[in-house]
Structure 1
Amino acid sequence: MRIDLTGRTAVVTGSTLGIGHAIALGLARAGATVVVNGRKQEAVDTALAAIAEAVPAAALIGVAADVGTAAGAEALHAAVPQADILVNNVGVFGPQDFFDIPDEEWTRFFEINVMSGVRLSRLYAKDMAERGWGRIVFLSSESALNIPADMIHYGFSKTANLAVSRGLAKRLAGTGVTVNAVLPGPTLSEGVEAMLREEAEKTGKTVEEAAVAFVREHRPTSLIQRAATVEEVANMVVYACSEQASATTGAALRVDGGVVDFIA
Structure 2
Amino acid sequence: MHIDLTGKTALVTASTAGIGFAIATGLARAGAHTVLNGRSEASVERAVAQLRAEVPGASVAGVAADLATAEGAARVRGAVPSVDILVNNAGIYAMQPFFDIEDAEWERFFQTNVMSGVRLARHYMSGMLERDWGRVVFISSESALNIPADMIHYGMTKTAQLAIARGLAKVATGTRVTVNSVLPGPTLSDGVQALLKDDAERSGKTVEEAAAEFVRAHRSSSILQRAATVEEVANLVVYTCSPQASATTGAALRVDGGVVDSIV
Aligning the two structures, in what range does the TM-score lie when normalised by the shorter sequence?
over 0.9
Query: Quick one: which amino acid aligns to residue 180 of structure 1?
Result: N
Counterpart for residue 24 of structure 1: 24
List runs of 5+ in structure 1 lacking aligned partners: none
Identical counterparts, % of pairs:
67
Amino acid paired to 1:37: N
Moved more, 202-211 or 168-177: 202-211
Name the SS for the 2:50 alignment partner: helix
| TM-score of the two chains, using structure 1 as the length reference | 0.98
Paired AA for residue 174 in structure 2: G
In structure 2, how many angstroms separate the alpha carbons of the residues matched to 1:191 and 1:68?
A: 19
Name the structure 2 match of 1:160. Answer: 160
Shift of 1:208: 1.3
Deviations 1:142-201 (A, max 9, x none): 000000111111111000010000011001111211000000000000111122223324
Counterpart of 2:257 in structure 1: which amino acid?
G
Tell me the CA shift for residue 94 of structure 1.
Answer: 1.4
**What are the equivalent positions in structure 2 for 1:50-199 lying under 5 Å apart?**
50-199=50-199
Q: Tell me if 1:261 matches 2:261.
A: yes
Structure 2 spans left out of the alignment, 5+ residues: none
Q: CA offset at residue 85 of structure 1?
A: 0.3
Residue 12 of structure 1 deviates from its aligned partner by 0.3
Whichever residue aligns with residue 249 of structure 2, its letter is T
Residue 58 (structure 1) shift: 0.3
More deviation in 168-177 or 118-127? 168-177
d(CA) in 1 for partners of 2:217, 2:178: 36
CA distance in 1, matches of 2:118, 2:250: 15
Q: Which residue of 2 aligns with 1:243?
A: 243
Q: Where does residue 15 of structure 1 map in the other structure? A: 15
Number of positions where the alignment pairs a residue of Structure 1 with one of Structure 2:
264
For 2:68 and 2:104, locate their aligned partners in 1 and report how far apart those are by CA, in whole Å.
Answer: 14
The range that moved more, 96-105 or 183-192, is: 96-105
Mapped partners of 1:108, 1:96: distance in 2: 14
Q: 1:50 deviation in Å? A: 0.8
Q: Look up the match of 1:211.
A: 211
Distance 2:18 2:47 in 1: 11
TM-score of the aligned structures, taking structure 2 as reference length: 0.98
CA distance in 2, matches of 1:117, 1:33: 20
Please name the residue that 2:228 is paired with: 228
Corresponding letter in the other structure for 2:118: V
Q: Distance in 2 between matches of 1:174 and 1:38?
A: 34
Partner of 1:44: 44
Alpha-carbon offset, residue 205 of structure 1:
2.4
Query: Which portions of structure 1, spanning 4 or more consecutive aligned residues, are displaced by more than 4 angstroms?
Result: none
Amino acid corresponding to residue 84 of structure 2 in structure 1: D
- Secondary structure of 1:227's aligned partner: coil
> Aligned AA for 1:211?
A
More divergent stretch after superposition (98-107 vs 249-258): 98-107
